């Protein structure tokens, strides 16, 4: 979208008249984006451009919402609610570029800009949501019983009103001042938490110079570690705390002393030391509690869940406990089976967490005669990418072609134009696959622009997938582990949610849905990873071109529920830690490690290790959007298991079923998620589907 279109987004006789400040169009963030599909001109943007662009965009946003407040016309849905939805479009454009890149291609300079600009953004947000005259107009429209609105418009009105209330609009002036104080500090602390976690991850590495200690490793692991060492100017082989480096070493190495050092380093990131996050955790949770109590809730979880599919704290706690009760004994059996197997191979003493990956992989290889080393040659990244594109084509008719002339933010990033079966343009998709020091750990989908309509003209989304997959080496292309391939499918599901969005308002489109519903499109996609009909259609050996043997596919399918209960309980432990932190009714000032161990105690399967805690690097809940919401992964897993059962019943490429699911994806947040799910599935989700899918009953 061009700058003129952005600034004219509220045009019309009945819309507020905006007096705009001067705009320096020599700054590429503020200029017209005369680029293919109005994509960000990454090749022209410098770090020095961000802060002045933010300052201008904040001023524009203030002018826009002041125009709404000062509009002499009677408040209407269009001149107040729609105008509010559209205000800040320029700021959204700049923020989407900056904060997305701050996650995947950051630097000390960018982090400094983030720390500088974040308080100003929080202040602006509070100035909007706490303005009594603005809320008066919103409330007047909300209480207008004569309005005849479409379902989509009605949902926008309800969400807008509720957003103001949940952001303190009904508070007294004294409490509004406190709300500003708390949220401003929170914005800084959550940003600092993420920076500390990334710094702690990058601060540790383990260099190995003795060839005997890497001799047993598969060649793809050794090559990757050797490449890391060379890139660092070191000899031999270097293991980092990045997942593609750490995980295969823990899986294939028998060097217990090295693995213990790596495990302890990984599981004590930001737990004390230079990048300590423990005080940040205590302050973040205390401030969130203060915000919740200001707004009339007993704890932060009550506040968050009041706007979720689960609806309340007791429902979430009951849900987690129910799944734990149904799977804990099986998880214990999983651990005992691996421990007994390890003992049979001569392992002495308890099977510790740093031993588990090694022996569980050996056990899987012996029990099912299948391992990642066997599977990886058939999961070449380029083939897997083509396979995901093919799946989207079979299900939804989508086509993916290289986006010529579209600038990218890093040489490793590629961009694709996505079109519908009739040739209509749907989205630009950016793919960023490999780890680097400037990128945080994990995998995620984000947007540089969301789908929306402006006065009847459709604006299509710019979607980005960011991963940390195994890098290619000098002799081998990027070959994915089965877990990495499943992750690719997962994030691609989020991308489909964004790319297929259809609606007038960006706040109701794509992944802008209730947090415990947003993981359904991603988790349902994971199911295709173990479908023979799908694997048969594309998985070939990267060297020989031979299709994946039928026997190997059958082994993958047979092994798909290997350690399923163990993995389930591990996820539940994260959800329970999250809920423990956010159901506090008084600030916690004790030991973070002890608090976490107590919260996770009901889920404990492997031996407890003192001096370890995952909370200090638990970015999802302390610097991301999953506070009091991590349970949503399991919640959505139930939806996905129940939903995929329909694909299994009708056929995994069934067009009728895919069409119904596409309608769910297109709908975004325009309807309550339970209503959308029932329209697709025909009934409410059933927990038993997940239990059966895990093979436990």
Separation in Å, CA 607 to CA 348, 354, 514, 572, 597: 14, 10, 36, 17, 11
Among 491, 519, 526, 637, the one annotated catalytic? 491
Q: How many residues are there in the chain?
A: 697
Bridge partners of 400, per DSSP, are 418
Beta-strand relationship, 414-419 and 425-432: antiparallel
Q: Are 124 and 92 in contact (CB under 8 A)?
A: no
CA dihedral 171, 175, 179, 181 (to 10 degrees): 160
- Of residues 674, 595, 651, the one with CA closest to residue 278: 595
Bridge partners of 425, per DSSP, are 419
What are 604's two structure tokens? 């404990």
CA 429 to centroid of chain Cα atoms: 16
Q: Dihedral sign, CA of 597, 602, 603, 608?
A: positive
- Of residues 30, 52, 28, the one with CA closest to residue 42: 28
Q: Are 386 and 402 in contact (CB under 8 A)?
A: no
Residue with tokens 């205000």: 87
CB atoms within 10 A of CB 361: 18
User: Cα separation of 687 and 44, whole Å?
Assistant: 51
Beta-strand relationship, 425-432 and 462-466: parallel
DSSP 8-state class, residue 442: S
- Of residues 203, 191, 207, 352, the one with CA closest to residue 271: 203
- Of residues 692, 697, 612, 607, the one with CA closest to residue 338: 607
Rg (the chain; Cα; Å)? 25
What are 147's two structure tokens? 């309005």
Q: Are 465 and 474 in contact (CB under 8 A)?
A: no
Cβ neighbours for 26, distance < 8 A, ≥ 6 positions apart: none
User: Cα separation of 18 and 87, whole Å?
Assistant: 10
- Of residues 533, 511, 531, 530, the one with CA closest to residue 522: 511
Bridge partners of 427, per DSSP, are 418
Catalytic (active site) residue 311:
no
User: Cα separation of 687 and 310, whole Å?
Assistant: 14
CA 110 to centroid of chain Cα atoms: 21
Residue with tokens 């949770």: 285
- Of residues 414, 406, 443, 489, the one with CA closest to residue 103: 443
Query: 243-252 and 353-368 are packed helices; what angle lies between their axes, rounded to 10 degrees?
Result: 70
280 — phi, psi (to 5°)? -60, -40
Give SS3 for 591. Answer: coil
User: Cα separation of 634 and 569, whole Å?
Assistant: 10
User: Using CB atoms within 10 A of its CB, is residue 305 exposed (0-12), middle (13-18) or buried (19+)?
Assistant: buried
H/E element, 693: helix 688-693
Residue with tokens 């539940």: 572
518 — phi, psi (to 5°)? -65, -25
Enumerate the active-site residues: 491
């Amino acid at each position: 979208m061009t700058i003129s279109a952005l600034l004219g987004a509220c045009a019309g006789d009945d819309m507020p008249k905006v007096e705009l400040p001067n705009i320096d169009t020599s700054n590429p963030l503020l200029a017209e984006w005369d680029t293919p599909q109005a994509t960000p001109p990454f090749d022209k943007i410098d770090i020095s451009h961000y802060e002045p662009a933010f300052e201008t965009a904040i001023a524009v946003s203030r002018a826009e919402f002041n125009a709404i407040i000062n509009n002499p016309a009677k408040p209407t849905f269009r001149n107040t609610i729609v105008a509010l939805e559209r205000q800040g479009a320029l700021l959204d454009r700049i923020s989407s570029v900056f904060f997305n890149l701050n996650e995947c291609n950051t630097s000390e300079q960018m982090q400094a800009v983030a720390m500088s600009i974040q308080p100003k953004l929080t202040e602006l947000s509070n100035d909007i949501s706490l303005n009594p005259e603005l809320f008066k107009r919103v409330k007047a429209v909300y209480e207008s019983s004569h309005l005849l609105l479409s379902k989509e418009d009605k949902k926008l009105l309800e969400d807008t009103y509720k957003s103001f209330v949940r952001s303190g609009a009904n508070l007294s002036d004294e409490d509004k001042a406190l709300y500003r104080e708390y949220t401003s500090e929170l914005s800084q602390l959550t940003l600092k938490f993420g920076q500390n976690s990334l710094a702690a991850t990058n601060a540790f590495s383990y260099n190995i110079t003795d060839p005997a200690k890497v001799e047993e490793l598969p060649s793809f692991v050794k090559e990757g570690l050797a490449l890391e060492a060379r890139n660092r100017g070191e000899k031999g082989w270097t293991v980092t705390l990045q997942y593609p480096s750490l995980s295969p070493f823990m899986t294939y190495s028998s060097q217990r002393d090295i693995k213990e050092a790596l495990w302890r380093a990984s599981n004590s990131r930001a737990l004390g030391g230079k990048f300590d996050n423990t005080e940040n955790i205590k302050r973040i949770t205390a401030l969130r509690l203060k915000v919740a109590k200001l707004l009339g809730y007993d704890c932060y979880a009550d506040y968050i869940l009041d706007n979720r599919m689960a609806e309340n704290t007791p429902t979430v706690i009951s849900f987690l406990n129910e799944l734990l009760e149904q799977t804990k004994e099986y998880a214990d059996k999983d651990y005992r089976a691996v421990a007994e197997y390890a003992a049979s191979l001569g392992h002495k003493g308890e099977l510790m967490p740093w031993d588990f990956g090694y022996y569980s992989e050996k056990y899987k290889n012996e029990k099912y005669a299948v391992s990642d080393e066997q599977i990886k040659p058939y999961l070449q990244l380029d083939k897997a990418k083509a396979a995901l594109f093919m799946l989207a084509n079979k299900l939804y008719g989508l086509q993916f072609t290289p986006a010529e002339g579209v600038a990218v933010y890093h040489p490793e990033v590629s961009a694709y134009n996505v079109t519908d079966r009739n040739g209509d343009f749907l989205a630009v998709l950016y793919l960023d696959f490999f780890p680097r020091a400037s990128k945080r750990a994990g995998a995620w989908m984000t947007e540089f622009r969301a789908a929306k309509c402006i006065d009847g003209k459709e604006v299509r989304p710019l979607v980005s997938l960011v991963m940390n997959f195994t890098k290619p080496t000098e002799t081998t292309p990027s070959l994915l582990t089965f877990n990495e391939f499943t992750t690719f499918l997962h994030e691609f599901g989020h991308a489909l949610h964004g790319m297929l969005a259809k609606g007038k308002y960006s706040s109701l489109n794509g992944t802008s849905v209730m947090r415990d519903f947003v993981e359904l499109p991603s988790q349902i996609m994971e199911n295709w990873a173990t479908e023979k009909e799908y694997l048969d259609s594309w998985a070939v050996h990267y060297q020989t071109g031979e299709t994946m043997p039928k026997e190997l596919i059958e082994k993958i399918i047979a092994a798909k529920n290997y350690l399923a209960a163990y993995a389930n309980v591990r996820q539940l432990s994260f959800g329970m830690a999250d809920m423990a932190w956010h159901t506090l009714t008084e600030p916690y000032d004790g030991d973070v490690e002890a608090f976490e161990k107590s919260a996770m105690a009901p889920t404990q399967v492997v031996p407890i290790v003192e001096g370890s805690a995952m909370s200090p690097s638990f970015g999802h809940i302390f610097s991301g959007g999953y506070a009091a919401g991590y349970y949503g992964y399991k919640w959505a897993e139930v939806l996905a298991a129940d939903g995929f059962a329909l694909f299994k019943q009708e056929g995994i490429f069934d067009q009728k079923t895919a069409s119904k699911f596409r309608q769910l994806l297109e709908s975004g947040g325009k309807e309550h998620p339970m209503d959308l799910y029932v329209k697709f599935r025909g009934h409410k989700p059933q927990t038993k589907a997940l239990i059966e899918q895990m093979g436990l009953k």
